[in-house]
Amino acid sequence: MRVQTLTVLVFTVIAGLPFLWMAAEVPPQPSRWFKGNLHAHTVNSDGDSTPADVVSWYRERNYNFLVLSDHNYLTEIGGLNQVYAAKDKFLLIPGEEVSSSLKEKEVHVNGYGLADQVPRQTGNSIVDLLQKSVDAIRGAKGIPSVNHPNYTWAIGSKELLAIKNLRLFEVFNNSWSVGNRGGGGYESNEEMWDAVLSAGYLLYGIAVDDAHDFKSYGRALPYPPTVPGTGWIQVRASELTVGSVLKALNEGDFYASTGVVLDDIQSTSAELTVQIHRTRDNLYRTYFIGQGGKVLATSTQLKPVYRFAGDEAYVRARIEESNGGNAWTQPIMRTARAR
């Protein structure tokens, strides 16, 4: 078990001097990375496998936590946890995909850690639907996350900027029809993310597989299958509990990935450091990104470092692997506006 020193960043003005990155050190706490998927479906909505079969798939492949996010249905996980959960090895977290629509536009918001099922929402605009979904999830003691914003080209940065009490969205979703990269005048998910961050609002990005098709291997389907194991997050916590995972999500102590593994992410008053875990003979390029989506620096090192100039509104990192995998760190912000 590795001991991490976590750093809380504060950005302030002192006696008229230029902005300075300042840090308050928190005593070291034992911590480790826990791998999990926050978006998967079973036969309780439009998946092709039972909850037990879905859980088995992730459990057998060394995932540490899973959310069964069926559409407008809170799949019971108590019995599944009795069978599959093991201390600091595997855990199911209650969740649901609150799925609503307006004039052929789909608005889907996941809720994590829900105490109760949240019904499908109705509204007179996309923003209205989003806000009602977020509010209903918060009302059920859950943490909301906007899913696949470009699905049916329903949600852009304008809509994300209008939502209150939102901290998470999917920067990557593996489903074949969700338009992660945008196109034709629509923003990519990363462009939306940078637009929200550039406006001064904190938003964290997750990656998910949105798996529906666990039985598709080796058989033909009338559409590209949405298979498991293609997008996940790694949260940093001292133990594996529902509370610790939700806390990490709420505080941004995690990274999103489609294949890149990180050993560490650390920030101080002076710099942001990423430690990449090299697999096989893969090569990597890290992009440090700031205001307006501008690339502030790049690195091909396994331990890339970005040294703060002091005037950055925010800094985040995207790590690209030579075989196509990516990882996204969460933004470090100078200051964040309330929303």
For 306, phi and psi rounded to 5 degrees? -115, 125
Say if 214 falls within a structural domain.
yes
Say if 91 falls within a structural domain.
yes
For 69, phi and psi rounded to 5 degrees? -105, 65
Closest CA to 225 of 236, 235, 214: 214
CA–CA gap between residue 1 and residue 116 (Å, rounded): 35
Say if 298 falls within a structural domain.
no
Say if 6 falls within a structural domain.
no
Considering its fold, how many domains does the chain have in total? 1
Say if 198 falls within a structural domain.
yes
Residues 96 and 70: beta-carbon distance below 8 Å: yes
Give the domain CATH number at 87.
3.20.20.140
SS3 of 157, please?
helix
Say if 319 falls within a structural domain.
no
112: containing domain: 28-273
Residue-by-residue pLDDT tens, the chain, 339 positions:
433 434 434 333 333 333 334 333 444 557 999 999 999 999 999 999 999 999 999 999 999 999 999 999 999 999 999 999 999 999 999 999 999 999 999 999 999 999 999 999 999 999 999 999 999 999 999 999 999 999 999 999 999 999 999 999 999 999 999 999 999 999 999 999 999 999 999 999 999 999 999 997 656 677 888 999 999 999 999 999 999 999 999 999 999 999 999 999 999 989 999 999 999 999 999 999 999 999 999 999 999 999 999 999 999 999 999 999 999 999 999 888 888
Q: What is the pTM of this model?
A: 0.90
Say if 7 falls within a structural domain.
no
Say if 320 falls within a structural domain.
no
